[in-house]
Amino acid sequence: MSSNQKVLPGFRLTLGYTIFYLLLIVLIPLSALILNTFSLSWPQFLAAVTSERVFASYRLTFGASLIAAVFNMVFGLLVAWVLVRYRFPGKKIIDALVDLPFALPTAVAGIALTALLANNGWIGQHLEPYGIQLAFNPSGIVIALIFIGLPFVVRTVQPVLEDAETELEEVAMCLGANRFQTFTRVILPTVLPALLTGFALAFARAIGEYGSVIFIAGNVPLISEITPLIIIGKLEQYDYAGATAVATVMLLMSFVLLLLINGLQTWQRQRTGALS
């Protein structure tokens, strides 16, 4: 086989189809979103995206997403470690349950969490006497975002842990390193790129989440109203320009996060290649 021959023939045809598909499914709808925003003047655009209610939704959406992503980064690493390094009864069941948020409709997840955490729920009814309320406030939003974001960290870190050389850990301990030193100087540098990638994926996923949050948030303006709900509300009020303006801000934020994720993945590949 010559060097010019490829395993999959038809490069021009497949490239053309790829570009056409991206234009039709991704670029054209997003372009329509941005062009619709141009119907607003610059002062109108700023007023639409920086009003008190919208700005409060930004703080809640990005703040709750950040908290949930940090939580998932810590406990996602722990779950991945247990699934890779230990054998125990029911391991395959737990491994399958990690992917449940991927398969479960987000609305079903929101209803289930509300049924658990509401004041009359299975868990919430026991917390209410102590003045702890986890549903219909920002705490419920964080819990819902933790639920939908955990698999991103686990599934990103798990393959790296599986490929990690345990001999390096044994050598470090033979040289006198304690468990904390072995983790911080041997294990953590190996999984850090994947861990940061999982964190960014969970953060990006949480920012755009709607279905699982809407039922447990309470949706009180300035308190527990997320940005996707602001967009839906503007659409219901036929304020299409205002909705597209807020959506454009979210689009720009998502694009920045995607660039960050791609950069982390490139760093991970380069680091893996250097270590190998």
Provide, rounded to the nearest whole percent, the portion of the chain with pLDDT above 70.
93
Confidence class for position 41, pLDDT limits 50, 70, 90? confident
> What pLDDT is recorded for position 61?
93
pTM (two decimals):
0.83
Distance of alpha carbon 19 from alpha carbon 33, whole angstroms: 20
Q: Is a pLDDT exceeding 80 seen at residue 229? A: yes
Q: Decide which of 32 and 243 is more confident.
A: 243
Does domain 41-275 fall under CATH 1.10.3720.10? My reply is yes
Q: Are 133 and 126 in contact (CB under 8 A)?
A: no
Q: Which two tokens stand for residue 146?
A: 């933790």
Distances (CA, A) of 11 to 2, 16, 84, 195, 242: 16, 8, 40, 35, 42
Closest CA to 114 of 130, 134, 97: 134
- Sketch the domain layout of the chain as residue ranges: 1-37, 41-275
Angle at 22 between CA 249 and CA 196, to 5 degrees: 55
Q: Decide which of 22 and 168 is more confident.
A: 22
Distance of CA 61 to the CA centre of its chain: 12
Distance of alpha carbon 122 from alpha carbon 120, whole angstroms: 7
> What pLDDT is recorded for position 29?
78
Q: Helix axis angle, 240-275 relative to 52-85, nearest 10°?
A: 30
Q: Is a pLDDT exceeding 50 seen at residue 1? A: no
> What pLDDT is recorded for position 191?
87
Confidence class for position 190, pLDDT limits 50, 70, 90? confident
Q: Which two tokens stand for residue 223?
A: 């308190």
- Mean pLDDT for all residues in the chain: 85
54-66 pLDDT, tens digit per residue, is 999 999 999 999 9
235-255 pLDDT, tens digit per residue, is 888 888 888 999 888 888 888
> What pLDDT is recorded for position 15?
81
> What pLDDT is recorded for position 31?
80
Mean pLDDT computed over 97-107: 88
Distance of CA 219 to the CA centre of its chain: 21
Report the b/e string of 116-143 with b at 16+ CB within 10 A: ebbeebeebeeeeeeeebbbbebbbbbb
- For residue 217, the surrounding DSSP H or E stretch is none
Mean pLDDT computed over 183-191: 82
What's the alpha-carbon Rg for the chain, to the nearest Å? 23
133-164 pLDDT, tens digit per residue, is 888 889 999 999 999 999 999 999 999 888 87
